[in-house]
Structure 1
Amino acid sequence: MNGPTRVLIHGASGRMGQALLRLAAERGDVEVVAAVSRGQPAQRVVERVAYFAASELHGVPAFDVAIDFSLPEGFDGILRLCEERACAFVSGTTGLSDAQRAALEAAAHRIPALWAANFSLGVAVLGELVERAAAALQGWDCDIVEAHHVHKKDAPSGTALALGACAGRGGAQPRYASLRAGDIVGEHTVQFASAGERIELVHRATNRDIFARGALHVARRLAGRAPGLYRVRDLLD
Protein backbone atom coordinates (compact mmCIF):
# COMPACT_ATOMS: atom_id res chain seq x y z
CA MET A 1 0.00 0.00 0.00
CA ASN A 2 1.41 3.39 -1.04
CA GLY A 3 1.43 6.14 1.57
CA PRO A 4 0.47 5.84 5.23
CA THR A 5 -2.18 3.28 6.15
CA ARG A 6 -5.28 5.04 7.51
CA VAL A 7 -6.13 3.51 10.88
CA LEU A 8 -9.21 3.69 13.08
CA ILE A 9 -8.59 2.80 16.73
CA HIS A 10 -11.65 1.35 18.45
CA GLY A 11 -11.38 1.28 22.23
CA ALA A 12 -9.16 4.35 22.27
CA SER A 13 -9.63 5.18 25.96
CA GLY A 14 -8.32 1.81 27.17
CA ARG A 15 -4.74 0.92 28.00
CA MET A 16 -4.09 -0.67 24.62
CA GLY A 17 -5.90 2.11 22.80
CA GLN A 18 -3.72 4.73 24.47
CA ALA A 19 -0.56 2.77 23.63
CA LEU A 20 -1.66 2.47 20.00
CA LEU A 21 -2.26 6.22 19.75
CA ARG A 22 1.11 7.03 21.30
CA LEU A 23 3.11 4.57 19.20
CA ALA A 24 1.29 5.31 15.94
CA ALA A 25 2.27 8.97 16.32
CA GLU A 26 5.93 7.89 16.19
CA ARG A 27 5.54 6.07 12.85
CA GLY A 28 5.45 7.42 9.34
CA ASP A 29 3.69 4.46 7.75
CA VAL A 30 0.38 4.74 9.63
CA GLU A 31 -2.00 7.64 10.18
CA VAL A 32 -4.69 7.47 12.85
CA VAL A 33 -7.73 9.13 11.30
CA ALA A 34 -10.23 8.34 14.08
CA ALA A 35 -10.23 7.26 17.72
CA VAL A 36 -13.45 5.76 19.08
CA SER A 37 -14.37 5.13 22.72
CA ARG A 38 -17.57 4.28 24.60
CA GLY A 39 -18.19 7.71 26.13
CA GLN A 40 -18.41 11.17 24.62
CA PRO A 41 -14.91 12.55 24.02
CA ALA A 42 -13.79 15.52 26.09
CA GLN A 43 -12.19 17.00 22.96
CA ARG A 44 -13.14 16.38 19.35
CA VAL A 45 -9.61 16.68 17.95
CA VAL A 46 -6.41 15.88 19.82
CA GLU A 47 -3.07 16.14 18.02
CA ARG A 48 -4.85 16.01 14.63
CA VAL A 49 -6.78 12.82 15.53
CA ALA A 50 -10.59 13.03 15.40
CA TYR A 51 -12.37 11.51 18.42
CA PHE A 52 -15.81 9.88 18.35
CA ALA A 53 -18.15 8.13 20.75
CA ALA A 54 -19.18 4.58 19.90
CA SER A 55 -22.69 5.86 19.20
CA GLU A 56 -21.21 8.01 16.41
CA LEU A 57 -19.35 5.16 14.74
CA HIS A 58 -20.97 5.60 11.33
CA GLY A 59 -19.73 9.20 11.18
CA VAL A 60 -16.03 8.35 11.21
CA PRO A 61 -13.94 9.35 8.18
CA ALA A 62 -12.58 6.92 5.60
CA PHE A 63 -10.05 4.40 6.90
CA ASP A 64 -8.14 1.37 5.61
CA VAL A 65 -8.08 -0.79 8.73
CA ALA A 66 -9.70 -0.77 12.16
CA ILE A 67 -7.80 -1.93 15.25
CA ASP A 68 -10.24 -3.04 17.93
CA PHE A 69 -9.28 -3.43 21.59
CA SER A 70 -12.63 -2.78 23.21
CA LEU A 71 -15.29 -4.89 24.95
CA PRO A 72 -17.50 -7.65 23.54
CA GLU A 73 -20.48 -5.29 23.45
CA GLY A 74 -18.60 -3.00 21.07
CA PHE A 75 -17.24 -5.74 18.81
CA ASP A 76 -20.30 -6.26 16.61
CA GLY A 77 -20.60 -2.61 15.59
CA ILE A 78 -17.01 -2.13 14.47
CA LEU A 79 -16.93 -5.47 12.63
CA ARG A 80 -20.12 -4.54 10.80
CA LEU A 81 -18.71 -1.12 9.85
CA CYS A 82 -15.58 -2.75 8.39
CA GLU A 83 -17.77 -5.06 6.32
CA GLU A 84 -19.90 -2.15 5.09
CA ARG A 85 -16.83 -0.15 4.06
CA ALA A 86 -14.79 -3.12 2.82
CA CYS A 87 -11.97 -2.33 5.26
CA ALA A 88 -9.56 -4.64 7.06
CA PHE A 89 -10.29 -5.61 10.66
CA VAL A 90 -7.80 -6.37 13.46
CA SER A 91 -9.05 -7.26 16.95
CA GLY A 92 -7.65 -8.28 20.30
CA THR A 93 -10.94 -7.93 22.17
CA THR A 94 -11.34 -10.81 24.62
CA GLY A 95 -14.42 -12.55 25.98
CA LEU A 96 -16.11 -12.96 22.59
CA SER A 97 -19.14 -15.24 22.38
CA ASP A 98 -19.41 -18.19 20.03
CA ALA A 99 -21.80 -16.12 17.90
CA GLN A 100 -19.27 -13.29 17.64
CA ARG A 101 -16.51 -15.68 16.61
CA ALA A 102 -18.84 -17.11 13.98
CA ALA A 103 -19.58 -13.57 12.76
CA LEU A 104 -15.85 -12.91 12.45
CA GLU A 105 -15.37 -16.06 10.38
CA ALA A 106 -18.29 -15.09 8.16
CA ALA A 107 -16.92 -11.55 7.71
CA ALA A 108 -13.58 -13.01 6.62
CA HIS A 109 -15.26 -14.18 3.41
CA ARG A 110 -15.67 -10.50 2.50
CA ILE A 111 -12.81 -8.62 4.20
CA PRO A 112 -9.32 -9.40 5.52
CA ALA A 113 -9.71 -10.05 9.26
CA LEU A 114 -7.49 -11.06 12.16
CA TRP A 115 -8.18 -11.84 15.81
CA ALA A 116 -5.40 -12.75 18.22
CA ALA A 117 -5.01 -13.30 21.95
CA ASN A 118 -1.46 -11.96 21.77
CA PHE A 119 0.05 -9.54 19.23
CA SER A 120 3.68 -10.06 20.20
CA LEU A 121 5.66 -10.90 17.07
CA GLY A 122 7.96 -13.03 19.22
CA VAL A 123 5.03 -15.11 20.46
CA ALA A 124 3.92 -15.64 16.85
CA VAL A 125 7.36 -17.07 16.04
CA LEU A 126 7.29 -19.12 19.25
CA GLY A 127 4.01 -20.73 18.19
CA GLU A 128 5.54 -21.86 14.92
CA LEU A 129 8.58 -23.30 16.72
CA VAL A 130 6.35 -25.13 19.20
CA GLU A 131 4.35 -26.75 16.41
CA ARG A 132 7.52 -27.86 14.63
CA ALA A 133 9.06 -29.19 17.85
CA ALA A 134 5.92 -31.12 18.76
CA ALA A 135 5.81 -32.73 15.32
CA ALA A 136 9.47 -33.74 15.56
CA LEU A 137 9.34 -34.98 19.17
CA GLN A 138 6.49 -37.47 19.07
CA GLY A 139 5.84 -39.09 22.44
CA TRP A 140 7.69 -36.47 24.48
CA ASP A 141 5.99 -34.83 27.46
CA CYS A 142 4.82 -31.28 26.72
CA ASP A 143 4.25 -28.76 29.52
CA ILE A 144 3.39 -25.07 29.24
CA VAL A 145 4.16 -22.83 32.21
CA GLU A 146 2.95 -19.23 32.16
CA ALA A 147 3.50 -16.40 34.65
CA HIS A 148 1.66 -13.07 34.88
CA HIS A 149 0.97 -10.26 37.34
CA VAL A 150 -1.24 -10.84 40.38
CA HIS A 151 -4.22 -9.02 38.82
CA LYS A 152 -4.61 -11.38 35.86
CA LYS A 153 -7.69 -13.49 36.47
CA ASP A 154 -7.78 -16.07 33.69
CA ALA A 155 -5.56 -19.12 33.96
CA PRO A 156 -4.14 -20.59 31.83
CA SER A 157 -3.62 -17.42 29.86
CA GLY A 158 -5.05 -17.07 26.37
CA THR A 159 -1.51 -17.11 25.01
CA ALA A 160 -0.72 -20.36 26.85
CA LEU A 161 -3.82 -21.96 25.35
CA ALA A 162 -2.87 -20.70 21.89
CA LEU A 163 0.61 -22.20 22.28
CA GLY A 164 -1.05 -25.40 23.45
CA ALA A 165 -3.10 -25.44 20.27
CA CYS A 166 0.14 -25.13 18.28
CA ALA A 167 1.59 -28.08 20.21
CA GLY A 168 -1.61 -30.03 19.60
CA ARG A 169 -1.39 -29.48 15.85
CA GLY A 170 2.07 -31.02 16.03
CA GLY A 171 0.71 -34.08 17.83
CA ALA A 172 1.55 -33.24 21.47
CA GLN A 173 -0.83 -33.29 24.41
CA PRO A 174 0.12 -30.21 26.46
CA ARG A 175 -0.36 -29.75 30.19
CA TYR A 176 -0.56 -26.32 31.82
CA ALA A 177 0.69 -24.57 34.95
CA SER A 178 0.03 -20.93 35.90
CA LEU A 179 1.79 -18.50 38.25
CA ARG A 180 0.46 -15.12 39.42
CA ALA A 181 3.06 -12.95 41.10
CA GLY A 182 4.10 -9.31 41.40
CA ASP A 183 3.96 -7.22 38.23
CA ILE A 184 5.13 -9.83 35.69
CA VAL A 185 4.05 -8.64 32.24
CA GLY A 186 4.05 -12.15 30.76
CA GLU A 187 6.31 -15.19 30.55
CA HIS A 188 5.60 -18.42 28.66
CA THR A 189 7.74 -21.55 28.71
CA VAL A 190 6.97 -24.57 26.54
CA GLN A 191 8.92 -27.60 27.69
CA PHE A 192 9.40 -30.87 25.83
CA ALA A 193 10.94 -33.63 27.95
CA SER A 194 11.99 -37.22 27.42
CA ALA A 195 14.32 -39.65 29.19
CA GLY A 196 17.62 -37.88 29.74
CA GLU A 197 16.90 -34.67 27.82
CA ARG A 198 14.71 -31.59 27.79
CA ILE A 199 14.03 -28.68 25.43
CA GLU A 200 12.61 -25.35 26.61
CA LEU A 201 11.21 -22.65 24.34
CA VAL A 202 10.72 -19.39 26.25
CA HIS A 203 9.22 -15.96 25.61
CA ARG A 204 9.43 -13.13 28.15
CA ALA A 205 7.62 -9.82 27.75
CA THR A 206 9.06 -6.93 29.74
CA ASN A 207 7.00 -4.08 28.29
CA ARG A 208 3.34 -4.00 27.23
CA ASP A 209 4.18 -1.78 24.26
CA ILE A 210 5.19 -4.90 22.34
CA PHE A 211 1.52 -5.81 21.94
CA ALA A 212 0.58 -2.40 20.53
CA ARG A 213 3.59 -2.44 18.19
CA GLY A 214 2.58 -5.88 16.99
CA ALA A 215 -1.00 -4.75 16.35
CA LEU A 216 0.22 -1.79 14.29
CA HIS A 217 2.58 -4.09 12.39
CA VAL A 218 -0.15 -6.52 11.37
CA ALA A 219 -2.69 -3.75 10.68
CA ARG A 220 -0.30 -2.12 8.22
CA ARG A 221 0.22 -5.43 6.43
CA LEU A 222 -3.39 -6.60 6.53
CA ALA A 223 -4.85 -3.51 4.86
CA GLY A 224 -5.45 -4.15 1.17
CA ARG A 225 -5.10 -7.94 1.41
CA ALA A 226 -7.56 -10.42 -0.03
CA PRO A 227 -10.47 -11.46 2.20
CA GLY A 228 -9.61 -14.18 4.68
CA LEU A 229 -9.04 -14.97 8.33
CA TYR A 230 -5.36 -14.28 9.03
CA ARG A 231 -2.97 -15.04 11.89
CA VAL A 232 -0.19 -12.81 13.23
CA ARG A 233 2.36 -15.31 11.92
CA ASP A 234 0.95 -14.86 8.41
CA LEU A 235 1.96 -11.18 8.48
CA LEU A 236 5.45 -11.26 9.97
CA ASP A 237 7.25 -10.28 6.74
Structure 2
Amino acid sequence: MNADIDVLVLRVFTGPDGRYGNPLGVLRDGHSVPDQASRQAVARRLGFSETVFVDDPEHGRVDIYSPGARLPFAGHPLVGTAWLLGLEAFDLPVGSVTARHEPEFTWITARPEWAPPRTLRQYSSPDEIDALTVPEPGEWIYAWAWQHEAAGRIRARAFPGRGDGIDEDEATGAAALLLTHRLGRALEITQGRGSQILTRPGADGVIEIGGRVRMEAPSER
Protein backbone atom coordinates (compact mmCIF):
# COMPACT_ATOMS: atom_id res chain seq x y z
CA MET A 1 0.00 0.00 0.00
CA ASN A 2 1.27 3.47 -0.87
CA ALA A 3 2.02 5.79 2.00
CA ASP A 4 -0.09 8.53 0.37
CA ILE A 5 -3.71 7.88 -0.55
CA ASP A 6 -6.31 10.17 -2.09
CA VAL A 7 -8.93 11.01 0.51
CA LEU A 8 -11.94 13.27 0.19
CA VAL A 9 -12.90 14.85 3.50
CA LEU A 10 -16.55 15.72 4.09
CA ARG A 11 -18.39 17.19 7.03
CA VAL A 12 -21.68 15.39 7.58
CA PHE A 13 -24.65 16.73 9.56
CA THR A 14 -23.48 20.34 9.49
CA GLY A 15 -25.49 23.04 11.20
CA PRO A 16 -27.78 25.44 9.30
CA ASP A 17 -24.85 27.84 8.79
CA GLY A 18 -22.66 25.11 7.28
CA ARG A 19 -20.41 24.85 10.33
CA TYR A 20 -19.57 21.83 12.42
CA GLY A 21 -20.59 18.36 11.20
CA ASN A 22 -18.71 15.12 11.71
CA PRO A 23 -15.59 14.73 9.52
CA LEU A 24 -15.67 11.74 7.18
CA GLY A 25 -12.90 10.32 5.03
CA VAL A 26 -13.97 8.83 1.68
CA LEU A 27 -11.69 6.90 -0.67
CA ARG A 28 -13.55 6.88 -3.99
CA ASP A 29 -11.11 4.26 -5.29
CA GLY A 30 -11.52 1.66 -2.59
CA HIS A 31 -9.52 -0.84 -4.62
CA SER A 32 -6.40 1.24 -3.99
CA VAL A 33 -6.49 -0.28 -0.49
CA PRO A 34 -7.57 -3.84 -1.30
CA ASP A 35 -7.54 -5.84 1.93
CA GLN A 36 -9.25 -5.45 5.29
CA ALA A 37 -6.06 -5.21 7.35
CA SER A 38 -4.74 -2.38 5.18
CA ARG A 39 -8.07 -0.57 5.30
CA GLN A 40 -8.16 -0.83 9.06
CA ALA A 41 -4.65 0.61 9.20
CA VAL A 42 -5.67 3.51 6.94
CA ALA A 43 -8.75 4.26 9.05
CA ARG A 44 -6.63 4.22 12.19
CA ARG A 45 -4.05 6.53 10.62
CA LEU A 46 -6.64 9.00 9.32
CA GLY A 47 -8.29 9.15 12.74
CA PHE A 48 -11.83 10.04 11.63
CA SER A 49 -14.70 8.47 13.52
CA GLU A 50 -15.39 6.61 10.25
CA THR A 51 -13.68 6.16 6.87
CA VAL A 52 -15.46 4.82 3.77
CA PHE A 53 -13.87 2.76 0.99
CA VAL A 54 -16.00 2.86 -2.17
CA ASP A 55 -15.75 -0.53 -3.90
CA ASP A 56 -18.58 -0.36 -6.45
CA PRO A 57 -20.40 2.96 -6.78
CA GLU A 58 -22.75 1.64 -9.45
CA HIS A 59 -24.20 -0.92 -7.04
CA GLY A 60 -23.65 1.08 -3.84
CA ARG A 61 -21.07 -1.25 -2.33
CA VAL A 62 -18.95 0.45 0.31
CA ASP A 63 -16.78 -0.69 3.21
CA ILE A 64 -16.88 1.32 6.47
CA TYR A 65 -14.24 1.42 9.22
CA SER A 66 -13.83 3.21 12.53
CA PRO A 67 -10.25 3.55 13.81
CA GLY A 68 -10.68 0.23 15.58
CA ALA A 69 -13.23 -1.90 13.72
CA ARG A 70 -15.00 -2.71 10.46
CA LEU A 71 -18.66 -1.61 10.64
CA PRO A 72 -21.58 -3.31 8.86
CA PHE A 73 -23.61 -0.07 9.16
CA ALA A 74 -23.03 3.54 10.19
CA GLY A 75 -25.21 6.57 9.60
CA HIS A 76 -22.98 9.54 8.90
CA PRO A 77 -20.74 7.68 6.40
CA LEU A 78 -23.76 6.67 4.32
CA VAL A 79 -25.34 10.13 4.33
CA GLY A 80 -22.00 11.64 3.31
CA THR A 81 -21.22 9.08 0.61
CA ALA A 82 -24.75 9.27 -0.82
CA TRP A 83 -24.36 13.05 -1.11
CA LEU A 84 -20.88 12.83 -2.64
CA LEU A 85 -21.72 10.24 -5.30
CA GLY A 86 -25.42 11.00 -5.80
CA LEU A 87 -26.30 7.43 -4.82
CA GLU A 88 -29.87 6.25 -4.42
CA ALA A 89 -29.10 2.88 -2.77
CA PHE A 90 -26.43 0.97 -0.87
CA ASP A 91 -25.85 -2.78 -0.73
CA LEU A 92 -24.60 -3.44 2.81
CA PRO A 93 -24.00 -6.58 4.87
CA VAL A 94 -27.03 -5.67 7.01
CA GLY A 95 -29.37 -5.10 4.04
CA SER A 96 -30.37 -2.51 1.46
CA VAL A 97 -30.28 1.19 2.28
CA THR A 98 -32.05 3.72 0.08
CA ALA A 99 -31.08 7.37 -0.23
CA ARG A 100 -32.84 10.46 -1.48
CA HIS A 101 -31.68 13.99 -2.10
CA GLU A 102 -33.25 17.36 -1.43
CA PRO A 103 -31.67 20.75 -2.18
CA GLU A 104 -30.51 21.11 1.43
CA PHE A 105 -30.63 17.63 2.97
CA THR A 106 -29.56 14.10 2.04
CA TRP A 107 -31.56 11.25 3.59
CA ILE A 108 -30.98 7.54 4.07
CA THR A 109 -33.30 4.83 5.36
CA ALA A 110 -32.20 2.41 8.07
CA ARG A 111 -33.51 -0.02 10.64
CA PRO A 112 -32.78 0.37 14.37
CA GLU A 113 -31.66 -3.24 14.67
CA TRP A 114 -28.72 -2.42 12.40
CA ALA A 115 -27.26 0.02 14.91
CA PRO A 116 -24.75 -1.26 17.46
CA PRO A 117 -25.71 -1.05 21.15
CA ARG A 118 -25.70 2.40 22.70
CA THR A 119 -26.56 3.59 26.19
CA LEU A 120 -29.21 6.30 25.68
CA ARG A 121 -28.96 8.43 28.81
CA GLN A 122 -31.55 11.15 29.32
CA TYR A 123 -30.78 14.33 31.28
CA SER A 124 -33.18 16.96 32.53
CA SER A 125 -31.90 19.95 30.55
CA PRO A 126 -29.61 21.02 27.70
CA ASP A 127 -27.44 22.81 30.26
CA GLU A 128 -26.65 19.48 31.88
CA ILE A 129 -25.63 18.09 28.48
CA ASP A 130 -23.36 21.07 27.83
CA ALA A 131 -21.67 20.64 31.22
CA LEU A 132 -20.74 16.98 30.70
CA THR A 133 -17.09 15.96 30.60
CA VAL A 134 -15.70 13.01 28.65
CA PRO A 135 -16.14 9.85 30.74
CA GLU A 136 -13.54 7.14 31.14
CA PRO A 137 -13.44 4.53 28.34
CA GLY A 138 -16.22 2.00 28.73
CA GLU A 139 -19.80 1.99 27.50
CA TRP A 140 -20.90 3.97 24.43
CA ILE A 141 -23.06 6.79 25.84
CA TYR A 142 -25.52 8.99 23.96
CA ALA A 143 -26.46 11.76 26.38
CA TRP A 144 -29.59 13.71 25.49
CA ALA A 145 -32.19 16.12 26.81
CA TRP A 146 -35.26 17.82 25.43
CA GLN A 147 -34.77 21.35 24.15
CA HIS A 148 -38.43 21.62 23.15
CA GLU A 149 -40.36 18.39 23.59
CA ALA A 150 -43.50 19.48 21.75
CA ALA A 151 -41.43 20.41 18.70
CA GLY A 152 -39.24 17.29 18.90
CA ARG A 153 -36.00 19.25 19.39
CA ILE A 154 -33.20 17.55 21.30
CA ARG A 155 -29.75 18.47 22.60
CA ALA A 156 -27.27 15.57 22.55
CA ARG A 157 -23.63 14.60 22.91
CA ALA A 158 -21.99 11.25 22.13
CA PHE A 159 -19.13 9.56 23.98
CA PRO A 160 -17.96 6.37 22.21
CA GLY A 161 -15.88 5.17 25.16
CA ARG A 162 -13.69 3.09 22.85
CA GLY A 163 -10.28 4.41 23.84
CA ASP A 164 -9.28 4.82 20.17
CA GLY A 165 -8.74 8.58 20.21
CA ILE A 166 -12.38 9.51 19.48
CA ASP A 167 -13.41 10.83 22.90
CA GLU A 168 -16.55 12.57 21.61
CA ASP A 169 -18.39 11.96 18.34
CA GLU A 170 -19.61 15.19 16.80
CA ALA A 171 -22.63 13.69 15.00
CA THR A 172 -23.81 10.07 15.02
CA GLY A 173 -26.55 8.75 12.77
CA ALA A 174 -26.74 5.32 14.41
CA ALA A 175 -27.37 6.76 17.89
CA ALA A 176 -29.98 9.16 16.47
CA LEU A 177 -31.61 6.12 14.84
CA LEU A 178 -31.90 4.33 18.19
CA LEU A 179 -33.23 7.39 19.99
CA THR A 180 -35.85 7.94 17.29
CA HIS A 181 -36.92 4.32 17.60
CA ARG A 182 -37.23 4.64 21.36
CA LEU A 183 -39.23 7.87 21.26
CA GLY A 184 -41.28 6.91 18.21
CA ARG A 185 -41.35 10.37 16.64
CA ALA A 186 -39.54 12.69 14.28
CA LEU A 187 -36.60 14.51 15.88
CA GLU A 188 -34.36 17.49 15.23
CA ILE A 189 -31.14 16.81 17.13
CA THR A 190 -28.44 19.34 17.84
CA GLN A 191 -25.34 17.34 18.73
CA GLY A 192 -21.77 18.15 19.70
CA ARG A 193 -20.71 21.74 19.06
CA GLY A 194 -23.60 22.51 16.72
CA SER A 195 -24.22 19.67 14.25
CA GLN A 196 -27.80 18.91 13.21
CA ILE A 197 -29.42 15.52 12.54
CA LEU A 198 -33.01 15.08 11.37
CA THR A 199 -34.95 11.82 11.72
CA ARG A 200 -38.38 10.60 10.65
CA PRO A 201 -40.02 7.26 11.50
CA GLY A 202 -41.50 5.52 8.46
CA ALA A 203 -43.47 2.42 7.63
CA ASP A 204 -42.49 -1.10 8.73
CA GLY A 205 -39.99 0.11 11.33
CA VAL A 206 -37.79 1.98 8.84
CA ILE A 207 -36.38 5.33 9.97
CA GLU A 208 -35.04 8.13 7.78
CA ILE A 209 -31.89 9.98 8.84
CA GLY A 210 -31.08 13.25 7.13
CA GLY A 211 -28.60 16.08 7.22
CA ARG A 212 -26.50 18.57 5.35
CA VAL A 213 -23.10 17.65 3.88
CA ARG A 214 -20.20 19.91 2.92
CA MET A 215 -16.93 19.16 1.14
CA GLU A 216 -13.93 19.96 3.30
CA ALA A 217 -11.00 19.38 0.92
CA PRO A 218 -9.31 16.65 -1.08
CA SER A 219 -5.99 15.65 0.42
CA GLU A 220 -3.20 13.15 0.37
CA ARG A 221 -2.63 11.42 3.70
Answer yes or no: same fold by TM over 0.5: no
- After TM superposition, the score normalised by the length of structure 2 is 0.26
- After TM superposition, the score normalised by the length of structure 1 is 0.25
Higher share of residues assigned strand: 2
Higher share of residues assigned helix: 1
Q: Bigger relative contact order, structure 1 or 2, given CA contacts below 8 A and separation 6+?
A: 2
